[in-house]
Amino acid sequence: MSNINWETICNVSDINKNTGVCALHNGEQVAIFKVGKEEQLFALQNYDPFGEANVLSRGLIGDVDGQLVLASPLYKQQFSLESGKCLEDDSVILKTYMVRQQDGLVQLQA
């Protein structure tokens, strides 16, 4: 089993439920979301390829046919929080990051 290194980003309590924050991770802007009663964490690139701006951390979280999605605050394209795949354009997939909660901290795979 490989040894995974994790980088602490913030406290879980720093992210309001069903919203996102932006963090700099390995030189990239990452949008981190805390979703639902279980406070499940998701991490995607913050760059919106349609609006060509780093704004996805300000997007709206929703549910489409049981799939958790993020709607861009610019042109409202919807992306799967799990896979990064755009629901309106299968050819567009956002980069996703391994994220976890450890002792009250949000951590991304280093």
Q: Is the Cβ–Cβ distance between 82 and 66 less than 8 Å?
A: no
Q: What's the residue count for the chain?
A: 110
What pTM, to 2 d.p., does this model score? 0.93
* % residues pLDDT > 70 (the chain): 98
pLDDT digits (tens, 9 = 90+) for 64-73: 999 999 999 9
Instruction: Note the CATH architecture for domain 6-109.
Output: 3-layer Sandwich (2.102)
- The whole-angstrom separation of Cα 105 and Cα 30 is 16
Give me the pLDDT at residue 3, please.
76
- The domain limits of the chain are 6-109
Task: Report the sign of the C-alpha dihedral through residues 9, 86, 48, 63, in that order.
Answer: negative
Low-confidence ranges of the chain (pLDDT < 70): 1-2
Per-position b or e across 17-42, b if 16+ CB within 10 A of its CB: eeebbebebeeeebbbbbbeeeeebb
Q: Give the pLDDT score at 63.
A: 95
